[in-house]
């Protein structure tokens, strides 16, 4: 459907990656495999945490929510990406685009806040180990997670409302693989600066607030680790935070690059590659990071596998 200037857009055509047919099919199978690994890995992590009594701790409670978020996060983007790769171009309605934008923002914002909550949890565990059980009670855990979801919901409602208050009429060809802010702004035919200020201020607040909590928590953690005299104890204490630090570096590193860089939206192919990393690859990597670098998770997984072998023999 052709859209001339002045005609309000009622649907969008996602242009995807615009590659040769054989490369598109190759990417289709790569992303399909990644998505399946993401689902199995994160669902497996949730089931493992629920089944093993040794993993019924605050840290793994938060990790199970991170896995749930990664499932939702990936499912908001990847099925549509696969459909787009399979059909070369894909028509998406205005309402579906707004819905995807909302849930994408909600999942990303919740993950920011949840990673900050997990950093605080590590701070309490390392700096106040004797008070850990009384501080991180079930009510406190639930309150922290609920706060992350509520904060993300508020951000998503405002950000989506601001974005879709803009009139899109320059074209209906969205040069991206999902409904994200930079390509949408390229289609705007109304004044966007007031809305952009609100949108970027919210993104700045969410990212900087989360990073501030993480940095302050880890400053206290490092200070506590340096006071430990035993090298073995230092390594053991540091290892309890290593997985979380890796997940934080991957997620916030790409998020800052794509949303707070000075030339945002000017190189859409660059934005597409980075967006693939944090919407498709990172949700797959998180369960691997927490399982491969975590002794308790590996032991729980061994127990489950041993039980499966015994049941098969019987």
| pLDDT by residue, tens only, the chain of 314 residues | 444 444 566 788 888 887 777 888 899 999 999 999 999 999 999 998 888 888 888 999 999 999 999 999 999 999 988 988 877 667 889 999 999 999 999 999 999 999 999 999 999 999 998 899 899 999 999 999 999 999 999 999 999 999 999 888 878 888 888 998 888 888 888 788 889 899 989 988 999 999 999 999 999 999 988 888 777 777 777 777 888 898 999 998 887 776 655 445 456 677 788 888 888 999 999 888 887 667 777 777 777 777 766 665 55
What is the reported pLDDT for 32? 95
What is the reported pLDDT for 293? 63
Rounded CA separation 136/4 (Å): 57
Say if residues 88 and 73 touch (Cβ distance below 8 Å).
Answer: no
Say if residues 83 and 25 touch (Cβ distance below 8 Å).
Answer: no
Rounded CA separation 132/114 (Å): 18
What is the reported pLDDT for 79? 92
Query: Considering the domain 11-313, what is its CATH architecture?
Result: Up-down Bundle (1.20)
What is the reported pLDDT for 312? 59
Quote the radius of gyration of the chain (alpha carbons, Å): 22
What is the reported pLDDT for 63? 92
What is the reported pLDDT for 54? 80
What is the reported pLDDT for 2? 42
Own/partner pairs, 62-66, CB within 8 angstroms, 24+ separation: 62/114, 62/117, 62/118, 62/121, 62/141, 62/144, 62/145, 63/118, 63/290, 65/114, 65/145, 66/111, 66/114, 66/115, 66/118, 66/247, 66/286
What is the reported pLDDT for 4? 45
Residue 210 CB partners (closer than 8 Å, separation 6+): 112, 113, 115, 116, 252
pTM value is: 0.89
């Amino acid at each position: 459907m052709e859209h001339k200037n002045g005609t309000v857009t009622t649907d969008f055509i996602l242009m995807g990656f615009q590659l040769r047919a054989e490369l598109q099919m190759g990417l289709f199978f790569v992303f399909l495999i990644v998505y399946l690994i993401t689902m199995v890995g994160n669902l497996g992590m949730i089931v493992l945490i629920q089944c093993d009594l040794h993993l019924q701790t605050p840290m793994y409670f938060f990790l199970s929510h991170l896995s749930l978020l990664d499932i939702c996060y990936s499912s908001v983007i990847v099925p549509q990406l696969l459909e787009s790769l399979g059909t070369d171009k894909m028509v998406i309605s205005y309402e579906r685009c707004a819905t995807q934008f909302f849930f994408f923002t909600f999942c990303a914002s919740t993950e920011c806040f949840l990673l900050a909550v997990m950093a605080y949890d590590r701070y309490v565990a390392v700096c106040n180990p004797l008070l850990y059980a009384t501080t991180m009670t079930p009510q406190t855990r639930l309150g922290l997670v609920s706060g992350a979801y509520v904060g993300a919901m508020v951000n998503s409602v405002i950000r989506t409302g601001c974005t879709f208050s803009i009139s899109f009429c320059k074209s209906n060809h969205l040069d991206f693989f999902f409904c994200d802010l930079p390509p949408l702004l390229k289609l705007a035919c109304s004044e966007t600066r007031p809305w952009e200020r609100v949108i970027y201020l919210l993104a700045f607040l969410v990212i900087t607030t989360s990073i501030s909590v993480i940095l302050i928590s880890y400053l206290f953690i490092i200070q506590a680790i340096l006071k430990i005299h035993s090298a073995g104890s230092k390594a053991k204490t540091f290892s309890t935070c290593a997985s979380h630090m890796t997940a934080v570096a991957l997620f916030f590193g790409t998020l800052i690059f794509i949303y707070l860089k000075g030339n945002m939206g000017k190189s859409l192919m660059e934005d597409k590659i980075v967006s693939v990393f944090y919407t498709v690859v990172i949700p797959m990597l998180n369960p691997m990071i927490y399982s491969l670098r975590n002794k308790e998770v590996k032991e729980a997984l061994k127990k489950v596998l041993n039980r499966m072998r015994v049941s098969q023999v019987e």
